Amino acid sequence: MRVFVFFDLPVDTAVQRKEYRLFRKHLIKEGFLMLQESVYAKLVVNDAQAGASISRLRQHRPPYGLVQVLKVTEKQFAAMEFITGERESYAEVDTLEGFVVL
């Protein structure tokens, strides 16, 4: 399952830019990878983990702007079509293949 975060935050003042940076740093710390500017995605094992991730996002939401979250299955994610360009290959692990539970 994937959790997508879409956000549109104001960056007009120094305080708003700081809130933007803090939110973005939180996303990266939580394991989200940037797909596009202001679009991040995270691979989660199940719906419970997705819910916990969304709950942590609520705790760190910025005071202004719009943050949206979307959960999709791996099958839905794999059906994504690229209209223009090609997706770059990343060094990060992008699948559950070889997933080890400790």
Percent of the chain that is helix, strand, coil (3-state, to 5): 35, 25, 45
Identify whether the C-beta of residue 44 lies closer than 8 Å to the C-beta of residue 50: yes
Count of C-beta atoms within a 10 Å radius of residue 15: 11
Record the pTM: 0.77
Regions of the chain short of the pLDDT cut 70: 85, 87-102
Per-residue pLDDT at 90: 58
Q: Tell me, what's the pLDDT at 9? A: 95
Q: What does the alpha-carbon distance between residue 26 and residue 23 come to, in Å, rounded to a whole number?
A: 5
For tokens 């394991």, the residue is: 31
| 47 labeled binding residue | no
